[in-house]
Every structure is written in structure tokens, then in C-alpha cells.
Structure 1
């Protein structure tokens, strides 16, 4: 699965991650989209590293990895933002 697929997955995964972890985030929808896209890429990399053979195609496991990557980045983003704000 190419980078473009992970970007599309990331857009959807960012929305799902925001739904799972609601709250105020600086930057609004633009930052959520960026986190989702980067989370999709991170999820693709993690899925490839864990499974060994790589994650390919539009399937449920690929989507799960994209959401996991987005959640990881959203948590990191919130930790950094809240520390900088405090």
C-alpha cells in the first residue's frame, strides 16, 4: 500500500481518533487532519514492523493501524501542548 493510501486512511483515522479522544485541541480541524495523516503513516510503519511482511491494501487491519498511529500522535501532541501551556 502506497503513501497516498495511508494519507487517505489518515484523514479518516484522524477523525476517528478525535472521536475516541474528544477535547479541545489547538489548531482545530487542520491540526486534526495533519495528525491523522501523519498517524496513518506512523500506523503503516508500525504495522509493517510488527507483522514483518508489511500491511497492504484497504482492509480492517490497515485501518486499525492508522487509527492507532493517529491516537499515539494525538496523545503526544496533547502532552506537548499542555506542558508548553502550563
Structure 2
């Protein structure tokens, strides 16, 4: 069940990150961005000792923030323009 929840959170946070940065991304793109964003956000939360209770809202916020940061950095590093 946790695996399905991770996928749903990844899809939502990836889709929000694509929308925030006005980027294109399909199902798989949103999933990858969201899951990598969850890892990035989780590590940043741990690094800054943020008190995260583990609720679904906390997971969505951390994951979405990490996804936006990841997608922003990805575009800055690998943009051709």
C-alpha cells in the first residue's frame, strides 16, 4: 500500500512542479520528477532538521518543494537556450 501512495504523491508533486515552472511533462515525466523531488525534499528536510510529522500533507509539501527545486535545477543545467 505504501508503494501505491508513493506513486500517487510522486504524480501529484511532479504535476504541480511542471505547472509551477510552466513545463511540459507527461505521466512518466511527472512521476519521475515527483519521486526524485521527494528524495531531494526529504534530504533537505533532514539536513535542515525540519520537524515533519509524516502526514500526507507534509509529504506532499516536501515532495512538491523538492520536485520544483529539482526541475528548476535540471532546466538550468541542461537547457539549450
TM-score by length of 1: 0.68
Q: Which moved more, 1:38-47 or 1:12-21?
A: 38-47
Q: Does 1:14 align with 2:14?
A: yes
**Is 1:68 aligned with 2:65?**
yes
Given that residues 6 and 66 in structure 1 are in contact (C-alpha distance below 8 angstroms), is that contact kept between their aligned partners in structure 2?
A: no
TM-score, length-scaled by structure 2:
0.72
Correspondence 1:33 to 2:31: yes
Q: Deviation per CA, 1:29-85, whole angstroms, max 9, x where unpaired?
A: 123321111101211222233235655232x23211111100011011111221xx2
Structure 1: state its 5+ residue gaps. none
Could you list the runs of 4 or more consecutive aligned residues of structure 1 that deviate by over 6 angstroms after TM superposition?
Answer: none
Determine helix, strand or coil for the equivalent of 2:48: helix
**Partner-residue secondary structure (3-state), 2:22:** coil
Question: Structure 2: where are the runs of 5+ without partners?
Answer: none
Q: How much is the aligned-residue C-alpha RMSD, in angstroms?
A: 2.4
